[in-house]
Amino acid sequence: MDLTRRTLLASTGALAAASLAPDVLAGPGAPAAAGSGPVDLELVPMQLKLRHTWTISRNSSNEKKNGLVKLTAGGITGYGESAANVRYSQSWESGEAAFAKVKAAVAGLSPWEHLAWLERAEAEAGKDSDIVAAVDMALWDWKGKAVGQPVHRLLGIPSGRMPVTTFSIGIDTAEVMQQKVKEAAPYPRLKVKVGLPGDEANVKAIRAVTDKPIRVDANEGWKTVAEAVERINWLKTQGIEFVEQPLPAAMDADMKAIHAKSPLPLVADESVLHPADVPKLVGLFDGINVKLAKCGGITRAYEMAAIGRALGFKLMLGCMIESSVGIAAAIAVAPLYDWLDLDGNLLVANDPFKGLSIKDGVWALPDGPGLGVVPV
Ligand code: MG
C-alpha cells in the first residue's frame, strides 16, 4: 500500500471521531439545546510561574505567558490552551493576531462542525499552531461537556494502558539538580536536558543519586554528526534509554549517518511538527515526539499516532510548559502512545486549573466531562 493511501486510512479514525454528530454521541436526555445559538470565542492570557528556572540548550525562563481559549455556546464553556514556543517563531503577540484571524474565519460555525473549524484555523493561523491546538482542545472540551462524557471516551481511547510519564530535571548546579532528583522521588522515570556545555558533569551528578531510567533531550544542541555520535556513545554508558533531537532540524539529512551508528533509539522532536512530517523521517529516527501545541491539538495528535504506528515509529507524546488544560488534552490521547513526557503542569507553581491526578508517574484518565479540568 502506498504511503499516501496508508496515511489517509490512518487518519480516518480521528476524522470520524472529530465529526461525530451530537445525536450519535448523546444518549437520551442529552442537552438538546447545546450547540444551538451563537458561539462566543475569546483568548485571555495565563501567566504561569515556574517552580524552578527552566534551562534548555536554547534559553532559560522563570515564567511563561500562555493563552486560554474559551468557547461558549448553549451555556457551556470549553477550554483550550495555547503555549507559544520561541523555537517556532511563536509569541503571545503573534498568537493573539492569529487568534483574531481564526475567530473571524470560524464565525457562524457550530462547535459540532469540528473539522471545518480545524481546517479554517490551520489555514489562518500559519506558524501559530498552538492557537489551532487551543481551539481544537476547546472544541473537544465543549463537545464532551455537551454530552456529559470525557474526551478520551468520545475518542474511544481504552483505559488501563497509560504509560508512565517522565519528570524533567532542569539543568542547574549539581547540588540543585540532585535536590530536584530527590523531589522527583514519586516519578519512576526522569528526563534530562543535554546539548549544553557541562553535559557529562550534569548527567554524572544526576546518576550519582539515582539509578532510575533516564531519557535525554539534546534540543538540537549538537552541531556535527561526529559530535552527536560521540555524545550518544557516552550516554549509552550512563544507562540512558533514548536521545531526543541530537541535531538541528535543518540537518535532518545528516541523521541517516547518526541513525546507522547510534546504540540508542533516536526520537525526533523539533524535526516533526505536523502529520505530513512523519513519513519524511523514516530511516532517520526511531521515534517521534508529538506535542499538541506543535501539531494543532487532540485531533491531529490522534492522527499522528495512527500514521506513526503505521510507519513503524515508537510514539512519544510530549508537552510545553502548560497548565492542566493543555496537559489534560494530551492525557486524553496518551494511551495511544508508548512514551510520555507530560509534566508541564507539574513544573508550574500557580496552575489556574485542577482536576488531574498522577500516581507513581501514571496520569489517571479523568472521569469528568470534557477534558476533566475546572478553574481553581
Ligand atoms: Mg524535546
Pair 209, 321 in one domain: yes
CATH number at residue 205: 3.20.20.120
**Banded model confidence at residue 196, pLDDT cuts 50, 70, 90:** confident
CATH number at residue 143: 3.30.390.10
CA of 304 to the centre of ligand 1 (A): 17
CA of 314 to the centre of ligand 1 (A): 15
Give the chain's radius of gyration (CA, Å): 20
CA of 96 to the centre of ligand 1 (A): 25
Last residue of a domain, one of 96, 116, 150: 150
CA of 36 to the centre of ligand 1 (A): 41
CA of 109 to the centre of ligand 1 (A): 35
Pair 317, 218 in one domain: yes
Q: Kindly state the cell numbers that stand for 18.
A: 472529530
Pair 26, 170 in one domain: no
pLDDT tens digits along 255-267: 999 999 999 999 9
The pair phi, psi for residue 326, each rounded to 5°, is: -65, -40
Q: What is the rounded average pLDDT for all residues in the chain?
A: 91
**Banded model confidence at residue 2, pLDDT cuts 50, 70, 90:** very low
CA of 191 to the centre of ligand 1 (A): 10
CA of 341 to the centre of ligand 1 (A): 9
Residue of 354, 368, 344, 331 lying closest to 159 (CA atoms)? 331
- Chain center to CA of 103: 23
CA of 39 to the centre of ligand 1 (A): 36
CA of 244 to the centre of ligand 1 (A): 6
CA of 219 to the centre of ligand 1 (A): 6
CA of 169 to the centre of ligand 1 (A): 13
Pair 266, 285 in one domain: yes
Distance of alpha carbon 324 from alpha carbon 321, whole angstroms: 10
CA of 27 to the centre of ligand 1 (A): 41
Strands (E), the chain: 40-55, 60-73, 76-82, 166-169, 189-193, 214-217, 240-244, 266-268, 287-291, 314-318, 339-340, 353-354, 358-359, 362-363, 374-375
Give the structural domain span for 184.
Answer: 154-375
Pair 159, 89 in one domain: no
Pair 268, 291 in one domain: yes
Q: What is the mean pLDDT of residues 4-17?
A: 46
pLDDT tens digits along 23-41: 444 444 444 444 557 999 9
The pair phi, psi for residue 303, each rounded to 5°, is: -60, -40
| Spatial CB neighbours of 93, under 8 Å, sequence gap ≥ 6 | none
Last residue of a domain, one of 150, 182, 217: 150
Number of domains observed in the structure of the chain: 2
Distance of alpha carbon 336 from alpha carbon 171, whole angstroms: 30
Buried b (16+ CB within 10 A) or exposed e, 328-366: bbbbbbbbbbebbbbbbbbbbeebbbebbebeebebebb
Residue entry with cell 536536558? 193
CA of 59 to the centre of ligand 1 (A): 13
Pair 161, 304 in one domain: yes
CA atoms lying within 13 Å on the CB side of residue 276: 1
Pair 250, 313 in one domain: yes
**Banded model confidence at residue 18, pLDDT cuts 50, 70, 90:** low
Pair 104, 170 in one domain: no
| Spatial CB neighbours of 62, under 8 Å, sequence gap ≥ 6 | 49, 50, 53, 54
Pair 137, 286 in one domain: no
Pair 101, 71 in one domain: yes
pLDDT tens digits along 76-101: 999 999 999 999 999 999 999 999 99
CA of 137 to the centre of ligand 1 (A): 22
Global confidence as pTM? 0.91
- Chain center to CA of 132: 13
Last residue of a domain, one of 150, 178, 209: 150
Pair 9, 140 in one domain: yes
